[in-house]
Amino acid sequence: MNRARFKKRFLGGVMGCFLGLSMVPSVMASESADTREVIWVSAGEKAAILSEMRAFLEASQTILEGSLADDMDVIEEAARSVGMKMMRGTPKELHKKLPSGFTALGPKAHRGFEAIADEASGMGDREVVLQHLAKLQKTCNGCHAIYRFEVK
């Protein structure tokens, strides 16, 4: 089979897969299938919590990039920005609304970032930083698997 014909068949097969996926029943993606525990919050509280989670994600990305560049200053700065200082900024009223399981995972995440910052400012071992980040991601994924926020 010549190269042009192979490309055409290959691309046709790939497109067929994508088109087939688009025909998957929307029930699979429906919210009714979401069995995570609902945490009811106001729109402002949801925005604050999601902003904090995006900051975790952005810090994680910066930590990965800093690790690749072996730049411990960048890693420390990113990790400290979402560490214990950020946790202390959570409004007390919001904290009271959150279930105990969630409030146990939040500090664990902030402490995980502090551990990364401490490693970066101390020994500066890139492998240890990445081990901490991998462990921290399990905490994040665990929380996202259990909880979701809804506005009431």
- Helix H, strand E, coil C: the string for 74-88 is HHHHHHHHCCHHHHH
- pLDDT band at 59, cuts 50/70/90? very high
Domain assignment present for 17: no
Domain assignment present for 50: yes
Token pair 């999601």 in the structure block, residue: 50
Instruction: Give the chain's domain count.
Output: 1
Domain assignment present for 15: no
Q: Which amino acid is at 8?
A: K
Average pLDDT over all residues of the chain: 86
Domain assignment present for 8: no
Is residue 150 within a helix (H) or strand (E), and if so which, with residue range? strand 147-151
Which has the higher per-residue pLDDT, 122 or 8?
122
Q: Is the pLDDT of residue 47 over 90?
A: yes
Domain assignment present for 95: yes
Q: Is the pLDDT of residue 138 over 60?
A: yes
Q: Quote the DSSP letter at residue 57.
A: H
Domain assignment present for 106: yes
**Separation between Cα atoms, residue 122 and residue 105, nearest integer Å:** 25
Return all residues near 104 (Cβ < 8 A) that are at least 6 apart. Answer: none
- pLDDT band at 97, cuts 50/70/90? confident
What CATH number is attached to the domain comprising 63? 1.20.120.10
Domain assignment present for 29: no
Range of the domain at 86: 45-151
Nearest to 130 by CA among 143, 149, 115, 144: 115
35-46 pLDDT, tens per residue?
999 999 999 999
- pLDDT band at 1, cuts 50/70/90? low
